[in-house]
Amino acid sequence: MKTSIAVLHVKTPTPEKVSKLAHKVLSGLTSSATTYKEPDPPLTELSTELTNLDKLLDSKDGNKQKNQATIDQAAVVYALLKDYIFYVNKIAKGDKAIILLSGFDCNDEPESSEVPDRALIKRIEDGSTPCSAKIYVETLAGTDRWKVEIATDIKGPWKTYSDCLTRNNLEVENLDYGVTIYVRISGGNIRGWGTASEPMAFLPR
């Protein structure tokens, strides 16, 4: 008989993905209290830290200190999830059905296909023509196209410049000279668009 183990199917633990998985695990362990009688750590700890993470996610506004606080809090929740992996595997003893009750995935289950993670702009420079902008981004797994949005205010409204660009061709042209714009990008694939990056300001010239 093949033995299963609970695993963390999160390639990159972004705050959004950590929150999503933590909600799933919290719900699974809570509703399976007759099987998982004494979660270690107690579920009240996960609930408290997850609530703190969700509050930070809801209040994100591009502020660097808030963004870092959100990342730090996601790390706290992710560390708790690692503890629960150990607990679940101890209780389940290789039983796949019991593992799945917890909200975690099994090692012999395929990783769910998802949209790309949050995009990240590294920098924006002058483009190849006047009043254009060249956007440099971090590599993003699972991405086969990029969407660029621009706005004149950091809070929007956002206008899509293009949604079919490649990573090596992220350039915005015909901008208004001397008018500061905000740029954000999203990675996409056949399953949809990932979370947009934090906006970055640029002054065309």
Domain boundary residue among 55, 75, 106? 106
Name the domain count of the chain.
2
Measured in whole angstroms, the distance separating CA 181 from the mean position of its chain's CA atoms is 25
Residues 102 and 147 in one domain: no
Residues 77 and 127 in one domain: no
Residues 27 and 51 in one domain: yes
C-alpha distances out from residue 98 to 4, 34, 85, 155, 190, Å: 10, 11, 13, 45, 33
Q: What is the pLDDT along the chain (205 residues), one digit of tens a residue?
A: 457 888 887 767 889 989 999 999 999 999 999 999 999 999 999 999 999 999 999 887 667 777 889 999 999 999 999 999 999 999 999 898 899 999 998 887 655 557 788 899 999 999 999 999 999 998 888 788 899 999 999 988 999 998 888 877 889 999 999 999 999 999 987 677 889 999 999 999 9
Burial bucket for residue 52 (CB in 10 Å: 0-12, 13-18, 19+): middle
Q: Which two tokens stand for residue 101?
A: 């009750």
Residues 155 and 89 in one domain: no
Residues 82 and 159 in one domain: no
- Cβ contacts of residue 175 below 8 Å, gap of 6+? 131, 132, 133, 150, 181, 204
Domain contains 113 = no
Domain boundary residue among 106, 134, 162? 106
Of 71, 78, 76, 192, give the one whose Cα is nearest residue 120. Answer: 71
Domain contains 195 = yes
Domain contains 112 = no
Domain boundary residue among 56, 77, 106? 106
Going 102 to 91 to 7 to 67, the CA torsion angle's sign is: positive
Residues 147 and 99 in one domain: no
Domain contains 111 = no
Domain contains 131 = yes
- Cβ contacts of residue 51 below 8 Å, gap of 6+? none
Residues 97 and 126 in one domain: no
Domain contains 164 = yes
Q: Which two tokens stand for residue 12?
A: 């990159």
pTM: 0.55
Domain contains 14 = yes
Residues 39 and 90 in one domain: yes
- Cβ contacts of residue 110 below 8 Å, gap of 6+? none
- 128 by DSSP, 3-state: which? coil
DSSP for residue 93? T
**DSSP string for 150-187:** EESSTT---EEEEEEE-GGG-EE-SPPTT--EEEEEEE
CB-side exposure of 63: number of CA atoms within 13 Å?
Answer: 10
Domain contains 115 = no
Residues 35 and 69 in one domain: yes
Residues 97 and 172 in one domain: no
Q: Which domain holds residue 198?
A: 121-202
Residues 86 and 165 in one domain: no
Residues 85 and 14 in one domain: yes
